[in-house]
């Protein structure tokens, strides 16, 4: 049995990279629905449909545990999948998201104010606000939708002056609010980690979501030996996508490594 990683595009490769670095012994299947990306501007009904299709596909490929790396899908589809769909279809298997582990870390390190940047869909869902308030209602959360960052990262413009100007505009209100912790609420954003940390300065700690999710998965498997014992340990990775192009292949090599080879599948 394998560990599945699902994202609406290829940003989840950044999460998978950190997971494999932390837990190299397991077998993984990555699924990127890049033919239908982005999810951020779609309705909750459509996001749930796409996410459920992907999860079902990964289970049929032999996954015991799936991590939804996409923040938008985690915010708008995960709970329904866990509470309604999973018990009826795969009651012995598990689906996890990326929002909860990042929130738990943010609450640990934050002093007063947490900033969150993400796609329009993730920010509109207020998923981070709700999860933070469950753990510590005294913390203030300031959100900012930053959708242009995805395109900048996918164009490889993270070092470009245009990216720096856009980042300054996006981060201005968060800096003015004097946040002390910043959550990168999109799988693409860790590519901009150094640039964002440089602009927020020493005042705010920028959380590395990939490392946090990897640590959380490691802890989860230690606590759930009934799942861990079922996992294959051949150190293999399979990469599935719903569309292949030279651009996507380049992103895969840049974000995961030169050894990556995509296979095209159809979720419809």
User: Residue 181 forms beta bridges with which residues?
Assistant: 114, 205
Predicted local confidence at residue 150, as pLDDT: 87
Predicted local confidence at residue 37, as pLDDT: 82
CATH of domain 2-97+211-264: 3.40.50.1860
% residues pLDDT > 90 (the chain): 78
- 202-244 pLDDT tens trace: 889 999 899 999 999 999 999 999 999 999 999 999 999 999 9
Backbone φ and ψ for 236, nearest 5 degrees, come out as -110, 145
Tell me the mean pLDDT in the region 82-93. Answer: 95
Q: What is the band of 107 on the pLDDT scale with cuts at 50, 70, 90? A: very high
pLDDT at 40 over 90: no
The whole-angstrom separation of Cα 128 and Cα 75 is 8
**Nearest Cα to Cα of residue 121 among 49, 11, 42:** 42
Tokens describing residue 237: 């990775």
- 146-183 pLDDT tens trace: 989 988 888 888 888 898 999 999 999 999 999 999 99
The rounded mean pLDDT for the chain is: 93
Domain ranges of the chain: 2-97+211-264, 100-209
**Nearest Cα to Cα of residue 265 among 4, 1, 71:** 4
Q: Which of 5, 47, 70, 132 is catalytic?
A: 70
Q: Within 13 Å, how many C-alpha atoms sit on residue 230's CB side?
A: 13
Predicted local confidence at residue 144, as pLDDT: 96
Q: What is the band of 189 on the pLDDT scale with cuts at 50, 70, 90? A: very high
The model's pTM is 0.92
Predicted local confidence at residue 215, as pLDDT: 96
**Nearest Cα to Cα of residue 39 among 29, 53, 28:** 53
Tell me the mean pLDDT in the region 43-69. Answer: 96
Report the CATH fold assignment for 100-209: Rossmann fold (3.40.50)
* First and final C-alpha spacing in the chain: 24
Q: Which of 16, 141, 182, 186 is catalytic?
A: 186
70 is an active site residue: yes
Burial of 54 (0-12, 13-18, 19+ CB in 10 A): buried
186 is an active site residue: yes
């Amino acid at each position: 049995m394998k560990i599945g990683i699902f994202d609406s595009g290829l940003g989840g490769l950044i999460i998978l990279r950190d997971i494999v670095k932390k837990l190299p012994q397991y077998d993984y299947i990555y699924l990127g629905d890049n033919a239908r990306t982005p999810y951020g501007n779609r309705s909750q009904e459509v996001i749930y449909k796409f996410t459920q299709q992907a999860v079902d596909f990964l289970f049929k490929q032999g996954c015991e545990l799936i991590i939804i790396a996409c923040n938008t899908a985690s915010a708008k589809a995960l709970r329904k999948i866990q509470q309604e769909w999973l018990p009826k279809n795969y009651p012995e298997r598990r689906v996890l998201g990326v929002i909860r582990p990042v929130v738990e870390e943010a609450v640990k390190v934050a002093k007063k104010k947490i900033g969150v940047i993400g796609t329009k869909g993730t920010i509109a869902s207020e998923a981070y606000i709700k999860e933070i308030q469950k753990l510590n209602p005294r913390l203030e959360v300031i959100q900012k939708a930053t959708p242009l960052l995805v395109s900048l990262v996918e164009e490889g413009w993270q070092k470009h002056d245009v990216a720096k100007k856009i980042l300054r505009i996006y981060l201005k209100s968060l800096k003015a609010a004097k946040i002390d912790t910043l959550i990168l609420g999109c799988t693409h954003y860790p590519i901009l980690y150094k640039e964002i940390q440089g602009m927020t300065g020493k005042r705010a700690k920028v959380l590395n979501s990939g490392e946090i999710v990897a640590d959380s998965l490691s802890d989860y498997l230690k606590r759930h030996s009934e799942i861990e014992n079922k996992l294959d340990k051949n150190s293999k990775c399979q990469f599935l996508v719903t569309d292949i192009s030279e651009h996507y292949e380049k992103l895969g090599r840049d974000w995961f490594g030169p050894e990556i080879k995509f296979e095209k599948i159809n979720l419809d």
